[in-house]
Structure 1
């Protein structure tokens, strides 16, 4: 294959087409052809600045290219290439925000996190938050935040310009003590991966690059409080890669109030999370179904917000951060636990949710997360393994 011709064909197309920001995801059928194209791209981009628009995910051997050039490449190299649309996705929160308070939120108490802190506070567990960034100036987060990465503006801190990522970070690992807020795993380390813009939108390619970064940086758990309705082969491939690398991905199911849900939560390699309300019922807005592994508190959740503030929000996004925090408590005691075992333990130790009129338990999937029961079961499982060695 003539890789020089491949990249110059792309350059010709994008030079005459309007730049509307749309991208396509290109993968080669043969890994050796990806390697050849990658080597030629690196050599050419110093001389051809337009090629800097192209991004690459080594983990799934994919190139993200302007849509203008992808069509011609597909026609010319149809037998060698796969081309996928770079779809958009949204964060999973509901616009019912109101001011919150610096306190121990009801959700942290509902999953029995404070009772678990005598056993684990999540110390040294690395959590990747693929989201809108985080507020590095918030006093309750200053000891929890690591540098992370900004995929939208490389070289800059992943500063939050939306608020959603800061809210997730607070539930995960706020450590404000008696004067501020406490999250589920207050001594975990948070690595914000800014893939979403100020409006809470991102593309599949941004998420792929975010997971790629987490794998390269040996993150332990990834919180993904977002989704979309459509399957994506590229997204599924990178989720599988993270799973095989031993990284648990915990994902929100969506807020449509329906059976079924969004991707990536519906991929079997993720831990899918629905939301419960303050009465421990499945929240009316939460998606549900047999694929849901566990439910977390998601209604009227108070957490950290921009400008050192606090805000109350609802959504499966909020539920997911509670479950990720509980998982971090376990990983501090059981480092190296596989994503599969973590999922099984979360399902096994969940408490039954209260049913609404007309609901059947079997139609809901898992139960409500319980951090204390999770830790006790995790320690028992570790002892059983040690006794058999």
Structure 2
């Protein structure tokens, strides 16, 4: 472990930011930000225009009247002999209807967003953890604005890699909106704080979301007995966290269309502020804020416990 006081090339002027800022000041790292929507509600028109949303699922049916033609579609393919996994363009549409349902909810919520599809599920909702990983990783590498993942894996061997991938997406400003499992079991990646995790509520209002004061599931969206697009241009009524998730993904697309410079943590805050169960009361100064304390900045201390 290197000493805390050493200077590395990575922290010199002109180099990338790492763990400290040395030789530079605020004027050297300007950020053009967006204060975000007041109260969590987007200012002005917010239809999803200009926002790229990727549905990592079973594909999206081409030309469904409630979805429209996807901007582009890909499929994750694993070679039976070599085991090599690739992501390839496809025109095969949807294998089981699940992805079309999710895309339709996104389209209904953010009608002008750009929907892309990455197929990781086969017929009968079948899929494997390595295919899911490959599809999600590819979507993150393409730097989509929002990734809808109404899927999860219970395989703990993928948890560490998924966690690292979710963090990479967060820092790259790709927002992963991930569905909680429909049963009380451990699954991933919805369990990670770097994604926006979603379960379903049973309220009648189809345009209402709630904040969960007892995470790890952070938000609840309409996912009980909802009407969704399905194969063959049809619609069905169905229930599940899978269908609450694209509603929240659509809300993210709407927010980003009105406030394109918002970060992932700002999106979470906007969803929190606009949740139907969050009450807004006048803030009072916290007693500790007027009581100065000695500085405990990271630069004031040194921890050599790992040397």
Identify the residue that residue 126 of structure 1 maps to in structure 2. Answer: 52
SS of corresponding position for 2:260: coil
1:207·1:235 contact (CA, 8 Å) conserved in 2?
no
1:87-102 equivalence runs, <5 A: none
1:338-357 equivalence runs, <5 A: 338-352=263-277
SS of corresponding position for 1:213: helix
Distance 2:137 2:255 in 1: 24
Q: Does residue 224 in structure 1 map to residue 158 in structure 2?
A: no
Between 154-163 and 234-243, report the one with greater CA deviation: 154-163
Quote how far apart the aligned CAs of 1:117 are: 10
Distance 1:292 1:227 in 2: 13
Distance 2:204 2:249 in 1: 21
Quote how far apart the aligned CAs of 1:204 are: 2.4
Relative to structure 1, the CA distance from residue 158 to residue 336 in structure 2 (aligned partners, 3 Å threshold; closer, same or farther) is farther
Identify the residue that residue 243 of structure 2 maps to in structure 1. Answer: 318
Identify the residue that residue 176 of structure 2 maps to in structure 1. Answer: 249
Quote how far apart the aligned CAs of 1:322 are: 0.6
2:53·2:114 contact (CA, 8 Å) conserved in 1?
yes
Identify the residue that residue 233 of structure 1 maps to in structure 2. Answer: 160
Distance 2:244 2:149 in 1: 11
1:211·1:239 contact (CA, 8 Å) conserved in 2?
no
1:1-389 equivalence runs, <5 A: 119-143=45-69, 145-152=70-77, 154-157=88-91, 159-173=93-107, 183-231=108-156, 232-256=159-183, 258=184, 262-279=187-204, 289-352=214-277
Relative to structure 1, the CA distance from residue 348 to residue 331 in structure 2 (aligned partners, 3 Å threshold; closer, same or farther) is same
Relative to structure 1, the CA distance from residue 236 to residue 158 in structure 2 (aligned partners, 3 Å threshold; closer, same or farther) is farther
1:261·1:288 contact (CA, 8 Å) conserved in 2?
no
Scaled by the length of structure 1, the TM-score of the pair is: 0.53
- Runs (5+) with no aligned partner, structure 2: 1-40, 78-86, 206-211, 281-307
More helix by share: 1
Structure ranking higher on relative contact order (CA contacts 8 Å, 6+ apart): 2
Quote how far apart the aligned CAs of 1:211 are: 2.3
- Runs (5+) with no aligned partner, structure 1: 1-114, 174-182, 281-286, 353-366, 368-372, 374-389
Q: How far does the alpha carbon of each residue in 1:83-121 deviate from its partner, in whole angstroms, 9 at most, with x for none? A: xxxxxxxxxxxxxxxxxxxxxxxxxxxxxxxx9796211
Distance 1:336 1:200 in 2: 36
Distance 2:89 2:55 in 1: 18
Distance 2:203 2:193 in 1: 28
Quote how far apart the aligned CAs of 1:344 are: 2.0
SS of corresponding position for 1:127: strand
Quote how far apart the aligned CAs of 1:326 are: 0.6
